[in-house]
Amino acid sequence: MPGLPATIISMNMTTESFDALSLFSGGLDSILATKLLQSHGHRVLGLHFVSPFFGKPEKKDFWESEYGIPVEVIDVGQEFVDLMAALPPHGFGKVLNPCVDCKILMLRRAKELLPAYGAKFIISGEVLGQRPMSQRADTLNIIRNDADVRDVLLRPLSAGVLQPTPMEESGLVDRSKLPSLVGRGRKGQYDLARTLGVTTIPTQAGGCRLGERESARRYWPILRAFPRPLAHYFDLANVGRQLWRDGGHWLAMGREHKDNEKLLKLVRPEHYVFVLKNFPGPHAVGCPVPGRDWPEDILAAAAACLASFSPKARRSEGEVEVAVTRFGQERIIAVRPDAPHGFSDNATWPETRAQQKEWEKSLGR
């Protein structure tokens, strides 16, 4: 299909054409906005954006069969990380969530995709006044203007209380059939769901990790340490415990067997992989920061750190062996599990928030 950016990751990309593209998170509002337009006879494709921070691409088949909504999965991971690393122009919300810029990014991408699907407009499930940061009236206008979608964006759930869009003015969409949902209450959505025959209501939680303090603590040191953080670093950060030494040496370590398996799937040749020999225990992945080498003392410290999390290795009261693999080469390091190693947990949330504010200030925000 011509004109599609290379970051679309859906394996079975549709070649159908559509009237509208919908920002489809899989939450109730995005389902209702899409179903509503479908019920008026419009062919709508759901665009489900994914990154290490949000997205459930594994639910594509479920959404298609349960709601009859065709869904395309779009990976915006690196674009999103670049946005975070440069400090989002509209700032962060209560945690590390750049909701306004996130919406702008998704809408811009949706607009780029319109010609590829022969679609004429974009819909989103935003509801006026529902969220404090991104769904106030002034913010909705900022999002629409900054994403440059003034002429093609329809917010059907609140259409009755928003200015008519060109799609409504031209008669392409029947404004008289669009609701006027406003505010944080959910009754209007539940009523609409009944009307549209939507019986499976997804849970409220949107599942965006950027709004969780624990996740923000994991992501923050990566944003500060790497000159250009890559999206896959944040996949590592989503697993197990995160340990840093002097802000330049990072270990992602499994807490349980499942984490070890996940970590091993994320390993790249340039990573250091630490595995205890002869004892059960966690695995760890060291992801090098450019300009910060891993000399012998750091490797030994990381190996000791790993061993310290194995009760059986600790009880052995002697040196234990740790296999360290990088670029396919394995070597063995002998360490005492009780040796000082200097790796520690990430900063607390208040410390992280204070550093975030300081960073914003240093950039004149």
Contacts of residue 21, defined as CB under 8 A and 6 or more positions apart, other chains included, come to: 44, 45, 46, 47, 110, 113, 114, 117, 119, 121, 122, 123
By CB under 6 A, name the one of 21, 208, 253, 298 that touches ligand SF4: 208
The answer to the question of residue 206 lying near ligand SF4 (CB under 6 A) is: yes
User: CA nearest 139: which of 158, 121, 120?
Assistant: 158
Instruction: Convert residues 271-310 into a mask of x (bound to ligand SF4 by CB under 6 A) and - (unbound).
Output: ----------------------------------------
Binding ligand SF4 by CB under 6 A: which of 211, 221, 282, 337?
211
Q: Name the residue nearer to ligand SF4 (CB basis): 54 or 272.
A: 54
**Which of 54, 117, 233, 309 is close enough to bind ligand SF4 by CB under 6 A?**
54
Nearer to ligand SF4 among residue 279 and residue 359 (C-beta): 359
Which residues contact residue 211 at a Cβ distance below 8 angstroms, ignoring those fewer than 6 apart?
Answer: 93, 94, 95, 96, 97
CB of 213 to ligand SF4, least distance (A): 14
Do the strands 44-50 and 20-23 form a parallel or antiparallel pair, or are they unpaired?
parallel
Among residue numbers 63 through 102, which ones bind ligand SF4 (CB under 6 A)?
A: 97-99, 102
Give whichever of 103 and 341 is closer to ligand SF4, judged by the CB atom: 103
CB of 131 to ligand SF4, least distance (A): 8
Q: Total residues contacting ligand SF4 (rule CB under 6 A)? A: 11
Count of C-beta atoms within a 10 Å radius of residue 318: 8
| Region near ligand SF4 per CB under 6 A, out of 71-79, 206-214, 221-229, 275-283 | 206-214
Q: Is 129 in the site for ligand SF4 (CB under 6 A)?
A: no
User: Of the listed pieces 192-200, 205-213, 237-245, 296-304, which binds ligand SF4 according to CB under 6 A?
Assistant: 205-213
Nearest-approach distance from CB 250 to ligand SF4, in angstroms: 23
| Burial (0-12, 13-18, 19+ Cβ within 10 Å), 91 | middle
String of DSSP letters for 184-239? S--HHHHHHHHHHT---PPPS----GGG-HHHHHHHHHHHHH-SS--HHHHHHHTS
| Contact between 30 and ligand SF4 per CB under 6 A | no
Cβ–Cβ under 8 Å, residues 84 and 92: no
First to last CA, the chain: 42
- Closest CB to ligand SF4 among residues 208, 306: 208
Contact call for residue 103 and ligand SF4 (CB under 6 A): yes
Q: Are strands 121-123 and 153-154 parallel, antiparallel or unpaired?
A: parallel
Return the half-sphere exposure (C-beta side, CA atoms, 13 A cut-off) of residue 81.
22
- Shortest gap between Cβ of 8 and ligand SF4 (angstroms)? 18
Interface residues with ligand SF4 (CB under 6 A) are 54, 97-99, 102-103, 134, 206, 208, 210-211
